[in-house]
Structure 1
């Protein structure tokens, strides 16, 4: 592991049960990942893929069967690296009788921080998660989205370098998801590293730099969002003006041309796109925009998992 790596996992396995005459259940099967600083890393997979098991091992809440897992260059489960990690569990439960401010003060002290230090930090965290106005209300009065935002502030109370978020937007309405998404991007801009385990693919696509797709305990694909979402072959052209004889101008190039008020879409390869641009310019038509359509992350995820299971 290099000094610039926050999480390093190599050939990690985890087997539950089993014995001399009984085969156990392998939840992780040779998993390897590397997460660099200042990035947002997404962990995706269907139920039973092994995502939660991996998170538990990283946090020292479960023991590996074999392989290696490190945080900040130190073995997982040891106190020093774990103190540098913030964690928001899935379906977390906060004391309902406390206010949001009291929750942060309590968890800050549980992290070993001095109360005066915690109290000085709380206002900035409340502002970060947009909870200043509700800080002194009881948690029992909070909506699901508000509880998630206070939970996120709780994960940040001790100023961790690495933040692990387990389904941070699960059950949250679109407005709440947008707010949490903005907090994640703010943390990235501040140099924090964020590790997100989620099944909400659109959220992951909007914030993550790199993504791993798991299925049946194995990594089946990983890369940047662009690497995982290949071009579909469809191209959108924004034109000015849009000629009445557009089909004639582009005759013989590509297929499935669909004309619109502002231009057109068609299925075309790179060579056909070049020819289309040349023809449009020769016809005196200005090209205001050209966009190669890409598969979204949900499509890529489904295609990857279905291919693995075929």
Structure 2
């Protein structure tokens, strides 16, 4: 079963008076098999965040098809998805528990009786249980990132999508996030997370989707990618040389 299918996604941002239109995404197509961990990797500005925003309909693509669990995104399928944006905005006047309660209430069909158990479970995973009654304005940058991850795993989703989840974390924080993702892997969750660092992918992913200048340049097994290219830098150089030959 394909948990997520993206077909021929295109997005162009219109230029200003003296600016050219920017073709940010060009025929983006990939899929996420159930239970697999897929890394979405590319250099900064390659189109990763724009792709994810289009997937969730935060910005409208020019065209393309997107299906979650075999159907277009809807209120029911949203409950099965955990998501952390690249730059999450957390209401600083809320406590950790209140922040999770807000997101719980936004989900379709969840019962209130399960909230306390799930919230405590999520906060313990990210080592924020002792800070659950503190206002978010008192959290450090790393703590805020972990609070965002707690929100993403709160409902025990079937699919978790994280945009640059290691951003702003120290080595201990990065190790904690990786441990959390490994726990979700054991639970059979389908994971999809973006990064511009291949090292993050090597430890966790079985598959890669590689994007460069708004185009998918590789989709498949991570070991196959590593055996062919060894690094992102080498991969992009090889692809650049191929493009030059085809011009």
TM-score tier (shorter):
0.7 to 0.9
Contact 1:10 1:33 survives alignment (8 Å):
yes
Structure 2 counterparts to residues 195-274 of structure 1, below 5 A: 195-230=192-227
Please name the residue that 2:175 is paired with.
Answer: 178
Q: Are 2:32 and 1:35 aligned?
A: yes
Q: Are 2:89 and 1:93 aligned?
A: yes
CA distance in 1, matches of 2:52, 2:99: 24
Contact 1:122 1:157 survives alignment (8 Å):
yes
4+ residue runs over 6 A deviation:
none
Contact 2:49 2:86 survives alignment (8 Å):
no
CA distance in 2, matches of 1:42, 1:90: 15
- DSSP 3-state at the match of 2:31: strand
- DSSP 3-state at the match of 2:162: strand
Pair 1:110–1:80, CA change in 2 (3 A): closer
CA distance in 1, matches of 2:59, 2:170: 32
CA distance in 1, matches of 2:43, 2:112: 41
Pick aligned residue for 1:109 from 88, 105, 109: 105
Please name the residue that 2:234 is paired with.
Answer: 303
CA distance in 1, matches of 2:6, 2:199: 26
Pick aligned residue for 2:70 from 65, 69, 73: 73
Contact 2:7 2:28 survives alignment (8 Å):
yes
TM-score under structure 2 normalisation?
A: 0.88
Deviation at 1:307, TM superposition (A): 2.4
Contact 1:220 1:304 survives alignment (8 Å):
no
Contact 1:121 1:157 survives alignment (8 Å):
yes
Deviation at 1:23, TM superposition (A): 6.9
Contact 1:95 1:103 survives alignment (8 Å):
yes
Please name the residue that 1:156 is paired with.
Answer: 153
Deviation at 1:231, TM superposition (A): 7.6
TM-score under structure 1 normalisation?
A: 0.71
User: Can you give the 5+ residue segments of structure 2 that lack an aligned partner in the other structure?
Assistant: 242-247
Structure number with greater Rg is: 1
Deviation at 1:15, TM superposition (A): 2.3
Which protein has the bigger helix share? Answer: 2
Contact 1:58 1:71 survives alignment (8 Å):
no
Deviation readout 1:242-280 (Å, 9 max, x if unpaired): xxxxxxxxxxxxxxxxxxxxxxxxxxxxxxxxxxxxxxx
Contact 2:96 2:132 survives alignment (8 Å):
yes
Give the alignment's Cα RMSD to 1 decimal: 2.1
